[in-house]
């Protein structure tokens, strides 16, 4: 969600220079395919300048999209999502899932009829001539476009939970309520509305919003830890230390593998 402008506090955007941060207005409907093209171009540009790109996740899907060529499906036909959502809502989950089972049994077997978002997405992909369950899953392979080392920061659960609470409190101190109010005053895409905390800040009293965001962020952190463990060849680094110490360890390990030049910038 850091790709969006207008919510720097809520999405915890970095203060230092970074590419692909704040590049889209909140009205923009983001896609993994569009992000993948931009990420590949950014990485290639940094490498061509003799520097080492550092790709920092996000979700597992967007991180893998930056590092690999996922062979993502084409964009669905215009209006496809609205049409399939109408089918799902008007005729019911079982009918929509039945259509999916008729045309794409593998995708239907992988998604529950009550999972509206995934059923609609699978129908979109079906209409575009592809599938939610392709013959070859490239998401969790070790294939990357460029030689890559994947590092995962491992933070003890109790420390992580304290950090989540501290960051959430700091967001309110920095004025996240005004930020959300300004964001919702203008057009906002379906994708951007999924920013964690947006709905909570807009609809709940302060303390209730705080608690709801903490709970949602803990849930998201647990999901991140789950997918991080699935990354092939992941090198785990202790994350409960000063940032400089962690960075030094990562650079030392990377240089030992002769993947990062001894000289040059980030």
Q: What is the pLDDT of residues 91-105, one digit of tens each?
A: 999 999 999 999 989
| 208 lies in some domain | yes
Query: What residues does 207 pair with on adjacent strands?
Result: none
Q: Kindly state whether residues 156 and 116 are assigned to the same domain.
A: no
The pLDDT profile of the chain, 266 residues, written as one tens digit per residue, is 999 999 999 999 998 889 999 999 999 988 888 999 999 999 999 999 999 999 997 788 889 899 998 876 666 677 888 899 999 999 999 999 999 999 989 889 988 999 998 899 889 888 877 777 765 556 667 789 999 999 999 999 999 999 999 999 999 999 999 999 999 999 999 889 999 999 999 999 999 999 999 999 999 999 888 888 888 889 999 999 999 999 999 999 988 875 544 444 44
| 261 lies in some domain | no
Secondary structure letter of residue 152 according to DSSP: E
Q: Kindly state whether residues 159 and 219 are assigned to the same domain.
A: yes
Contact between residue 234 and residue 151 where contact means Cβ atoms under 8 Å apart: yes
Q: Kindly state whether residues 84 and 43 are assigned to the same domain.
A: no
| 222 lies in some domain | yes
Strands 151-154 and 235-238: parallel
| 15 lies in some domain | no
| 132 lies in some domain | no
Q: Among 201, 202, 191, 171, which Cα is nearest to 25's?
A: 191
Q: Kindly state whether residues 187 and 103 are assigned to the same domain.
A: no
What pLDDT score does 173 carry?
Answer: 97
Q: Kindly state whether residues 219 and 149 are assigned to the same domain.
A: yes
pTM, two decimal places:
0.77
Q: Kindly state whether residues 91 and 217 are assigned to the same domain.
A: no
Q: Kindly state whether residues 170 and 220 are assigned to the same domain.
A: yes
What pLDDT score does 156 carry?
Answer: 94
Q: Among 114, 81, 84, 118, which Cα is nearest to 99's?
A: 84
| 265 lies in some domain | no
What pLDDT score does 264 carry?
Answer: 45
Q: Kindly state whether residues 64 and 157 are assigned to the same domain.
A: yes
What pLDDT score does 265 carry?
Answer: 44
Identify the domain containing residue 184 by its residue range.
32-71+142-256
What pLDDT score does 69 carry?
Answer: 87
Q: What is the pLDDT of residues 120-142, one digit of tens each?
A: 988 988 887 777 776 555 666 77
Tokens of 88: 């799902």
Instruction: Please identify, among 92, 127, 162, the residue that sits at the C-terminal boundary of a domain.
Output: 127
Q: Kindly state whether residues 164 and 211 are assigned to the same domain.
A: yes
Q: CATH code at 205?
A: 3.40.50.300
What total of structural domains would you count in the chain?
2
Q: Kindly state whether residues 243 and 206 are assigned to the same domain.
A: yes
| 262 lies in some domain | no
| 27 lies in some domain | no
Q: Kindly state whether residues 49 and 149 are assigned to the same domain.
A: yes
Secondary structure letter of residue 204 according to DSSP: S
Phi, psi of 24 (to 5 degrees): -120, 145
Q: CATH code at 85?
A: 1.10.20.140
Q: What is the pLDDT of residues 52-87, one digit of tens each?
A: 999 997 788 889 899 998 876 666 677 888 899 999
Q: Kindly state whether residues 61 and 157 are assigned to the same domain.
A: yes
């Amino acid at each position: 969600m850091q790709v969006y402008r207008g919510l720097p506090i809520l999405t915890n955007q970095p203060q230092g220079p970074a590419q692909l941060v704040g590049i889209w207005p909140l009205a923009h409907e983001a896609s993994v395919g569009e992000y993948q093209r931009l990420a590949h171009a950014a990485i290639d540009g940094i490498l061509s300048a003799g520097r080492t790109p550092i790709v920092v996740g996000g979700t597992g899907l967007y991180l893998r999209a930056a590092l690999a060529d996922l062979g993502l499906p084409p964009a669905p036909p215009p209006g496809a999502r609205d049409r399939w959502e109408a089918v799902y809502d008007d005729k019911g989950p079982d009918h929509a899932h039945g259509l999916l089972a008729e045309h794409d049994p593998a995708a239907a077997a992988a998604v529950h009829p009550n999972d509206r978002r995934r059923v609609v997405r699978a129908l979109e992909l079906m209409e575009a001539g592809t599938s939610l369950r392709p013959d070859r899953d490239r998401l969790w392979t070790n294939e990357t476009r460029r030689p890559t080392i994947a590092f995962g920061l491992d933070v003890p659960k109790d420390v992580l939970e304290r950090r989540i609470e501290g960051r959430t409190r700091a967001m309110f101190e920095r004025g996240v309520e005004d930020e959300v109010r300004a964001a919702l005053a203008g057009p906002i895409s379906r994708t951007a509305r999924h920013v964690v905390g947006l709905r909570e800040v807009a609809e709940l009293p302060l303390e209730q919003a705080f608690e709801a965001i903490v709970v949602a962020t803990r849930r998201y952190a647990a999901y991140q830890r789950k997918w991080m463990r699935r990354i092939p060849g992941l090198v785990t680094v202790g994350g409960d230390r000063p940032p400089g110490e962690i960075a030094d360890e990562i650079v030392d390990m990377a240089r030992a593998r002769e993947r990062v030049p001894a000289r040059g910038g980030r």
